[in-house]
Amino acid sequence: MTDNQLRDEVRAWLADNWNPEERAGFLAKVVEARWAAPRWPVEWFGRGLDDTQARIIEREFAAVGAPGTAQDRTNLWANTVLAKGTEALKHQLVGRLLRNEVGMCLLYSEPGAGSDLAGIRTRADRSGDGWVVNGQKVWTSSAATADYGMLIARTDWDVPKHRGISFFFLPMKQPGVEVRPLRQITNEAHFNEVFITDAAVPPDNLLGREGEGWSVLQTALAYERSVMGEAARGPRSGAKEAGGAAPMVALAREAGVLADPLIRQDLARVTALRQLNALNTARAKADLGQGTSSSLMSLGKLAMSRILHEEARLRTAMLGAGSLLEGPDHPRAEDANFLSLNAYFTSIGGGTDQIQRNIIGERVLGLPKEPEVDRDVAFREVRGG
C-alpha cells in the first residue's frame, strides 16, 4: 500500500467511525481495525507497517482529535507484555490493554530501594508452579484501582543483586495486597504504598526468565521514560488561556508582559527546549526496537524535567505578586503553583534526574561508571540500612 492509499484509508475510516460526541466504544473499533498499534505484527492487532507509514496514521488521527493510535509507542503495559510475556499472558491481556480494559500500576520502588532499584527486598518464593510474594512497595500510582501491578521481586538471594530479580504481573485484587494512599505536596493522593503478604502469582505471569527480570525492567523503563519525555501533566484549573498562540505566549500576553525583553528571552528558551526535546525523542524512538531498551530515552526524560521546572518558574515570573494567590477564583496562579510543585514528580518518577544523568554519562557519553562495591556480591551478604 502506498502512503497516499494508506492516508485515504485512514481518513475514510475516521469519517465513518469517529464522532467526538459519541466516544463510547471507539477505542475497541480502533483496535479491531488495527490502527491502535500499526507497527506490530498482524497477529497482535497490528499491520506490520514501518515507522513512516505508522506516522501517517498518527497524523490523521491527530488532525481530527481522535484517540487510540500510536499505542505501539506509548502503551507501556501492552508493549512490555508483547515483548516479554508468555504466550498465555499475551493472549489474555494484550488486546484488553490496548482497549484500556485493564487497570495497571507499577510495583518497583521500595522504602529502601529507590535510586538503587536493584536493591529491592520484596521476595517471590516458589509455591507449586507459581510464586508467593511478600514485601512492600511505595510511590505506586493507581494502585487502589489496578487489576495488575508490574512487579519486580527477588527470587534468588545467592547471586549479585542485578541477577536475582524476576519480573511479574501481580494480580492486585486478591487477599494479601493492601493499598494505603500517600498525600502529596499538591494536596492530591495519586501515589500509594502497597503492602504485600503471601500474595499469589500464577506461573504464566512471569515475564522473561526467572532471575532475569532486570533486563525486562530496562525495556519497561524505556517505554515509561519515552512517555514521560514526550508529554507531561498540564494545568489542572481547566481555565482556557487567551488567544490561539502557544499557552506560555498566551499567558504572557494575558499578563501584559509579552513586550518585556527578559520574558521574551525566557519564552524563546523554553520553546527551544521543547522543540529540541521533540527532535531528541523522535531520535530515541527510532533507536528503540520492539522489546529493547535505549539509553537515549533518559535524555528526553531529563529534558522534560528541566522544561517543566523552567516553565513553572516562568509562569510565576509572568504573574508576579499575583502568583501568591490560589484557589478557583485565581486559576492562573493556581496553575502556576500546581505546576511548580508537580514538576518534581517528573524529577523523581521513572528514575530521578540524578539517575538519568548517570545513565547518560555512562551509556551515552561513555564516561567511567561510578564504583559499586556490592555489584558482584551475593545479595544476601549485602549490608542493608
Residues identified as active-site? 224
Count CB neighbours of 184 within 10 A.
14
Q: Give the C-alpha distances (Å, rounded to integers) separating 375 from 109, 263, 337, 354.
A: 19, 48, 42, 19
Crossing angle of helices 247-255/261-287, nearest 10°? 170
Burial class (CB in 10 A: 0-12, 13-18, 19+), 287: middle
- Three cell numbers at 171? 494480580
Determine which helix (DSSP H) or strand (DSSP E) holds 70, and give its type and residue range: none
Contact in structure between 255 and 241 (CB atoms under 8 Å): no
**Burial classification of residue 149, based on how many CB atoms lie within 10 Å of its CB (0-12 exposed, 13-18 middle, 19 or more buried):** buried
Which helix (H) or strand (E) segment is 293 a member of?
none
Strand partners, 135: 196
Q: Beta strand 191-201 with 130-137: parallel, antiparallel or unpaired?
A: antiparallel
